[in-house]
């Protein structure tokens, strides 16, 4: 029986997430990253931190409120974690703005991409921006004076706002001295100047600079003493009462609007904000000084994400590429005929996601296809794939779609798709209460030669065409009868009622995945104890589950050589003497977000390889419906090893090695530089 590891052998989850964000920030710091991509990584860091505060920090604050002394698996109390998180978060944000102001923006200016501050506008620029304010901005702005008749407004989560200090009296004789101006979300946060006005190829002005300059026009007859941008981040976790839930979709539709007005957890203000106004804002949002982030620049850096797209400078961006096509599909128009000749492995984004769309499209159009089933976790607001499912239902096919309504931040899009699917005649199921459906699988039932034949797609990533160009994932198209039967059984579990049953090949959460992972680790452990060669390599997004960590520690002590490639947070401590000496943990942060889950067990030379939708976390093992499937075809197994494991173990360009204390250091470059993602692009992308 595996005992849980002692608390000193585990890393805190929240601190691990911040360490991951430190590595993301390092991409913006790296001069080897193309300049406009450095700006994009600053925005990605901001987006990651927003979600951290909305979900993780808000949860931590709730723990502080309910039981501040309760200790987690790592032995830290909520109060101790909050103190460390606050210190590290402030340091990271300060470093982010240092990079922006002292490094990235000056380097962009040298390349003719300038952000003009209001103190440096030319007369021509000032005139153009004045016209822009009065014609484009002022008509949609609503200043709110603060007095007994106008209490402090209910500020939207992450919205851009301006706190204004005033003197004098208005037309009604009011003199409250304070006002708030909210910038509608429809307004761009960065305005691009015409070239003839900018004086360079690419000139930009922040919306905040324009409003600061002309805010007095909103308060006629009064004097503006100060104008300060601010932004508040709120708890964005949705509460769904599963015991009281009668209709999950209706309950979510009622809950979604409240996401914008949850309890405040962070206040960002411009660093020139007066002490009086800062204290006033903290009081309004019931926050403390620990929750205050005073920044030197725009408080909403995420909204700069589209700036690189506005600038036509390919030399300052990652090189464009065309995703490759698997050789089995290169000259094939009938995808079912191609799959019938053997399993097809897809490696995104290096290979195109189009075969997955074609699989669903051809099934929707094929008169021989009788039924289609698919899970949907994240698919986006504009999904060609979903439109094909709707068309299939309209043609009278049996279409069943398991839509996960609780996919965080995609709830609204998924509700909309669910409604459209139902209107088209599809069967829409919202999974199992208490278990998110996170499995990535689709199945097609087709009549061939008088018999029914199943085809399936299984993957590590979402059915989302956009993220398939940004995330690394594996997908497999198969008509293996046993594997397809397993997929069918999982769909029946979700949509119907009955026992879990046994699968031939699939490992499934919440029933067998955890036990089988533990069993595979122990198998390597026993082989090592018997003097045999024993190897485990696992690639995933996060590793947190204590029993798996304990089993890995035990395997290390037996002599199993373990390599863990964990993109984000890892609670396991590698390199502890006599505990995890044989475990190495690395994180690869590069152009694409590493997302695939690959599990390798040497198993006496059999080299078992599995692909999965699940990370090694409590939620994935016990509170989600997940699938993990073996790569049975020897040729494809070799591909997964050569594409999903070996390049990442060899990478000495974008790899960070985890130290026993939970911090990371950039892997040293010994010999020739090797970058896994660049290697895979060269190997798999189309040759131009």
Helix, strand, coil shares of the chain, percent, nearest 5, are: 40, 25, 35
Which residue stretches of 143-198 are H helix?
195-198
Q: Report helix, strand or coil for 144.
A: strand
Cα distances (angstroms) measured from residue 101 to each of 31, 40, 109, 498: 15, 14, 11, 60
Of 114, 91, 100, 93, nearest to 29 by C-alpha is 100
Q: How many beta carbons lie within 10 A of that of residue 536, not counting itself?
A: 25
Q: Catalytic one among 438, 457, 595, 596?
A: 438
Dihedral angle, C-alpha 76, 80, 86, 92, nearest 10 °: -40
Provide the phi-psi class of 662: left if phi over 0, else alpha when psi is between -120 and 50, else beta.
left
Residue 153 CB burial class (10 angstroms; 0-12, 13-18, ≥19) = middle
Peptide bond into 466 cis (omega under 30): no
Q: How far apart are CA 218 and CA 563, in angstroms?
A: 61
Helices 207-214, 123-132: crossing angle, 10 deg rounding: 90
Rounded CA gap, 108 and 566, in Å? 33
Q: Give the pair of three-digit tokens for residue 351.
A: 């290979």
Residue 295 pairs in a beta bridge with 270
Residues contacting 213, CB < 8 A, separation 6+:
118, 126, 129, 130, 133
Nearest to 88 by CA among 57, 115, 55, 111: 57
**CA distances to 125, 133, 258, 309, 538 from 199, in Å:** 9, 20, 45, 20, 53
Instruction: Tally helices (H) and strands (E) across the chain.
Output: 22, 27
How far lies 136's CA from each of 215, 218, 307, 399, 564, in Å?
Answer: 14, 14, 20, 47, 53
Residue 503 bears catalytic tag? no
At 576 the three-state DSSP class reads coil
Q: How many residues does the chain have?
A: 688
CA distances from 493 to 178, 356, 489 (A): 59, 24, 6
Q: For residue 544, what are its two tokens?
A: 């947190």
Mapped onto helix, strand or coil, the DSSP state of residue 282 is helix
Helix (H) or strand (E) holding 456: strand 451-459
- 295 within 8 A of 181, measured Cβ to Cβ: no
DSSP state of 562: E
**Are the C-beta atoms of residues 215 and 144 closer than 8 Å to each other?**
no
State whether residue 215 is helix, strand or coil: helix
Place of tokens 């506008």: 121
Please name the residue ranges forming H helices in 530-630: 546-558, 618-622
DSSP, res 641: I
* Catalytic residue numbers, as ranges: 438
């Amino acid at each position: 029986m595996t005992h849980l590891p002692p608390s000193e052998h585990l890393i805190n989850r929240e601190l691990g997430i911040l360490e991951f964000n430190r590595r993301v920030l390092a991409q913006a710091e790296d001069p080897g990253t193309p300049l406009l991509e450095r700006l994009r990584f600053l925005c990605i860091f901001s987006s990651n931190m927003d979600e951290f505060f909305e979900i993780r920090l808000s949860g931590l604050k709730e723990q502080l409120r309910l039981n501040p002394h309760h200790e987690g698996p790592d032995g830290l109390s909520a109060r101790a974690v909050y103190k460390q998180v606050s210190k590290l978060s402030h340091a990271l944000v300060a470093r982010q703005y240092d990079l922006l102001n002292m490094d990235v923006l000056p380097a962009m200016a040298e390349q003719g991409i300038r952000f003009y501050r209001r103190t440096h506008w030319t007369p021509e620029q000032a005139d153009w921006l004045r016209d822009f304010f009065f014609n484009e901005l002022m008509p949609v702005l609503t200043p709110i004076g603060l007095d007994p008749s106008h209490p402090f407004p209910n500020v939207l989560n992450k919205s851009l706002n301006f706190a204004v200090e005033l003197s004098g009296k208005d037309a009604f004789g009011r003199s409250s001295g304070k006002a708030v101006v909210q910038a509608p979300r429809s307004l761009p946060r960065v305005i691009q100047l015409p070239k003839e006005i900018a004086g360079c190829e690419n000139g930009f002005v922040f919306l905040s600079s324009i409003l600061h300059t002309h805010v007095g026009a909103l308060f006629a007859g009064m004097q503006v003493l100060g104008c300060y941008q601010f932004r508040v981040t709120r708890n964005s976790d949705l509460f769904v009462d599963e015991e009281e839930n009668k209709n999950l979709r209706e309950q979510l539709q009622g809950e979604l609007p409240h996401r914008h007005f949850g309890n405040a957890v962070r206040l960002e203000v411009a660093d020139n904000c007066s002490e009086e106004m800062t204290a006033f804002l903290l009081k309004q949002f019931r926050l403390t000084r620990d929750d205050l982030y005073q920044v030197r620049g725009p408080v909403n850096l995420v909204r700069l994400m589209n700036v690189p797209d506005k600038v036509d400078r390919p030399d300052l961006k990652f090189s464009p590429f065309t995703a490759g096509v698997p050789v089995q599909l290169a000259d094939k128009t009938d995808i079912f005929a191609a799959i019938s000749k053997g399993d097809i492995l897809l490696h995104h984004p290096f290979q195109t996601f189009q075969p997955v769309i074609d699989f669903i499209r051809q099934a929707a159009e094929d008169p021989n296809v009788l039924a289609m089933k698919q899970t949907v976790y994240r698919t986006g607001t504009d999904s060609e794939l979903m439109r094909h499912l709707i068309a299939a239902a309209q043609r009278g096919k049996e279409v069943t779609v398991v839509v996960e309504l609780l996919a965080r931040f995609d709830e609204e899009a998924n509700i909309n798709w669910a409604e459209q699917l139902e209107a088209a005649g599809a069967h829409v199921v919202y999974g199992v209460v208490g278990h998110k459906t996170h499995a990535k699988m689709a199945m097609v039932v087709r009549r061939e030669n008088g018999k029914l034949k199943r085809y399936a797609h299984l993957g590590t990533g979402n059915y989302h065409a956009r993220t398939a160009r940004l995330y690394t994932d594996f997908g497999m198209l198969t008509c293996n009868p046993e594997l397809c039967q397993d997929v069918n059984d999982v769909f029946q579990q979700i949509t119907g009622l009955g026992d879990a049953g046994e699968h031939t090949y699939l490992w499934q959460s919440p029933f067998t995945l955890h036990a089988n992972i533990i069993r595979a680790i122990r198998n390597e452990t026993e082989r090592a104890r018997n003097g045999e060669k024993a190897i485990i390599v696992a690639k995933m997004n996060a590793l947190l589950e204590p029993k798996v960590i304990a089993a890995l520690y035990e395997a290390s002590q037996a002599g199993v050589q373990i390599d863990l490639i964990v993109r984000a947070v890892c609670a396991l401590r590698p390199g502890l003497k006599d505990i995890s000496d044989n475990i190495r943990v690395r994180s690869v942060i590069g152009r694409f977000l590493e997302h695939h889950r690959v599990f390798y067990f040497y198993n006496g030379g059999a080299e078992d390889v599995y692909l999965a939708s699940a990370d090694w976390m409590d939620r994935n093992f016990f509170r989600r419906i997940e699938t993990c499937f073996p790569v049975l075809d020897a040729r494809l197994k070799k591909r997964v090893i050569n594409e999903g494991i070996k390049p990442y173990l060899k990478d000495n360009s974008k790899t960070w090695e985890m130290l026993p204390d939970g911090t990371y250091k950039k892997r040293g470059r010994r010999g020739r530089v090797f970058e896994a993602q660049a290697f895979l692009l060269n190997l798999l992308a189309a040759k131009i």
